[in-house]
């Protein structure tokens, strides 16, 4: 197999010129950040050029007083978090990092990946306030700005969040930061009844506790909820959450401030190195039926109990069955899976028309030559 040309531009101009040159020569480009999620999306032909963001790895700004930062795409999230932590701040984005040095901000934004904190803070679409982009015709353009409140111009950053690099290269993003919480506490409760667990999740999410995260973990007919409180009074709120869990019928409720490991496990459940990993998005109130579907396929579940966004790890051969078991209207996306499985089924599930036609028109306008990550995305965009 031919090897791709490796490029690692060091400036925004170099990056844009690399895309433009590839486009002019009719060469395809695969954009690579931390290389932790390269297996996601359709199986595609190898690209002629691999464009690495490793040379775009500067934290351009950290405006601690304004709780904002500008990060180049190749900055590792872990490194950025260390820099923010020195000022008692964080980017409220906690997807699994895929090892050390791990995922880059560009890759996380391009895949729209997130973790348990999405319950409170949303995902990259909610935290990115501006972006600088390189398009395949060599254009460098930006949208949004440095301030968290801004409605001037179209929000192209949102268009690029979760676009899997198919519209162009994200050069840098402006993000909104949050103060690191003074303390965190997690309440836990378990159940062997998926209906009871789902009802408890609903009860907790509608309680005025302002949870930072509300996750579910489930496997083989047994599971639990994790509710994280953050803030100066985290302990008291955690105790309230645990009492509420008990009132809602959960068993073995407890409260712990030593909760890093618990949440690390939840994050780890969003990846699978040996099996298949499917992300499911649906209405939060269908949680019980999702857990039943996972049981039917011997799947292991982690996810956002109140957002209707869960991750199932299962045997690759069971993915089709899982999709059949899911309630109608459920979106399921295969993330990790052996290439054979990904080649066999559509990782994105059926494309929704007529929105897909509009998406194709967007792709045409931003990447008319089909240079950037061709074939990877929904409907093989």
Footprint (CB under 8 A) of other proteins, residues 241-280: none
Q: What is the footprint of other proteins within residues 325-354 (CB under 8 A)? A: 331, 333, 348-349, 351-352, 354
31 Cβ neighbours under 8 A, 6+ residues apart: 51, 53, 106, 110, 165, 169, 372, 373
Does residue 179 touch other proteins according to CB under 8 A? yes
Q: H or E segment at 225?
A: strand 222-230
Does residue 283 touch other proteins according to CB under 8 A? yes
Least separation, in Å, of the C-beta of 349 and other proteins? 7
Q: What is the footprint of other proteins within residues 189-208 (CB under 8 A)? A: 202, 205-208
Backbone angles phi, psi at 114, to 5 degrees: -155, 175
Taking the least distance from each CB to other proteins, the nearer of 196 and 362 is 362
Tokens representing 251 are 């068993």
Binding track over 33-62 against other proteins, x by CB under 8 A: ------------x-xx--------------
Least separation, in Å, of the C-beta of 101 and other proteins? 26
Q: What CA–CA distance (Å, rounded) separates 375 from 348?
A: 12
Q: What CA–CA distance (Å, rounded) separates 1 from 10?
A: 28
Total of residues contacting other proteins (CB under 8 A) = 99
Q: What CA–CA distance (Å, rounded) separates 376 from 356?
A: 14
Least separation, in Å, of the C-beta of 254 and other proteins? 20
Q: What CA–CA distance (Å, rounded) separates 199 from 122?
A: 22
Backbone angles phi, psi at 192, to 5 degrees: -105, 10
Least separation, in Å, of the C-beta of 366 and other proteins? 6
Distance of CA 353 to the CA centre of its chain: 24
Helix residue ranges per DSSP H, 56-206: 77-85, 105-111, 118-121, 124-127, 156-160, 194-206
The residue assigned the tokens 């409260």 is 255
Taking the least distance from each CB to other proteins, the nearer of 135 and 200 is 135
Q: What is the footprint of other proteins within residues 207-246 (CB under 8 A)? A: 207-210, 231-233, 236-237, 240
Of the candidate spans 188-196, 265-273, 314-322, 355-363, the one that interacts with other proteins by CB under 8 A turns out to be 355-363
Q: What CA–CA distance (Å, rounded) separates 72 from 51?
A: 14
CB distance 161 to 111 below 8 Å: no
Binding track over 150-169 against other proteins, x by CB under 8 A: xxxxxxx-xx-xxx---x--
Taking the least distance from each CB to other proteins, the nearer of 293 and 381 is 381
Least separation, in Å, of the C-beta of 197 and other proteins? 15
Binding track over 111-150 against other proteins, x by CB under 8 A: -x---------x--xx------x-x-x-xxxxx-xxxxxx
Q: Would you call the peptide bond into 101 cis, given omega within 30 degrees of 0 as the criterion?
A: yes
Taking the least distance from each CB to other proteins, the nearer of 120 and 321 is 120
Taking the least distance from each CB to other proteins, the nearer of 37 and 76 is 37
Least separation, in Å, of the C-beta of 100 and other proteins? 28
Does residue 84 touch other proteins according to CB under 8 A? no
51 Cβ neighbours under 8 A, 6+ residues apart: 7, 8, 9, 15, 18, 19, 22, 29, 30, 31, 32, 169
Taking the least distance from each CB to other proteins, the nearer of 122 and 249 is 122
Q: What CA–CA distance (Å, rounded) separates 213 from 84?
A: 21
Of the candidate spans 63-71, 219-227, 261-269, 291-299, the one that interacts with other proteins by CB under 8 A turns out to be 63-71
Least separation, in Å, of the C-beta of 180 and other proteins? 7
């Amino acid at each position: 197999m031919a090897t791709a040309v490796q490029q690692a531009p060091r400036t925004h101009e170099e990056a844009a010129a690399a895309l433009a040159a590839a486009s002019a020569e009719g060469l395809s480009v695969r954009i690579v950040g931390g290389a932790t999620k390269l297996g996601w999306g359709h199986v595609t032909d190898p690209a002629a050029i691999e464009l690495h963001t490793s040379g775009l790895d500067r934290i351009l700004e950290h405006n601690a007083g304004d709780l904002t930062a500008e990060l180049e795409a190749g900055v590792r999230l872990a490194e950025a978090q260390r820099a923010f932590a020195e000022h008692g701040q964080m980017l409220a984005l906690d997807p699994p990092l895929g090892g050390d040095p791990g995922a880059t901000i560009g890759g996380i934004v391009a895949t729209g990946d997130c973790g348990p904190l999405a319950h409170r803070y949303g995902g990259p679409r909610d935290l990115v306030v501006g972006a600088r982009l390189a398009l395949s015709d060599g254009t460098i353009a930006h949208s949004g700005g440095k301030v968290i409140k801004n409605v001037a111009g179209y929000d192209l950053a949102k268009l690029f969040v979760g676009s899997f690099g198919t519209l162009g290269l994200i050069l840098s993003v402006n993000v909104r930061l949050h103060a690191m919480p003074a303390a965190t506490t997690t309440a836990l409760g378990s159940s062997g009844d998926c209906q009871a667990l789902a009802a408890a999740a609903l009860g907790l999410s509608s309680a005025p506790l302002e949870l930072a995260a509300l996750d579910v973990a489930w496997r083989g007919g047994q599971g639990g909820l994790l509710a994280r409180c953050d803030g100066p009074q985290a302990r008291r709120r955690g105790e309230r959450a645990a009492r509420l869990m008990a009132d809602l019928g959960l068993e073995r409720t407890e409260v712990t401030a030593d909760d890093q490991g618990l949440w690390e496990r939840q994050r780890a459940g969003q990846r699978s190195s040996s099996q298949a990993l499917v992300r499911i998005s649906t209405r939060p109130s269908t949680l019980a039926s999702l857990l039943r579907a996972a049981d039917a396929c011997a799947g292991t579940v982690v996810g956002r109990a109140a957002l209707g966004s869960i991750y199932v790890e299962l045997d690759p051969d069971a993915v089709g069955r899982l999709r059949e078991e899911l309630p109608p209207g459920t979106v399921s996306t295969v993330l990790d899976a052996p290439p054979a499985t990904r080649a066999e089924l559509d990782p994105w599930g059926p494309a929704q028309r007529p929105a897909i036609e509009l998406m194709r028109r967007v792709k045409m306008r931003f990447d008319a030559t089909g240079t950037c990550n061709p074939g990877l995305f929904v409907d093989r965009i």
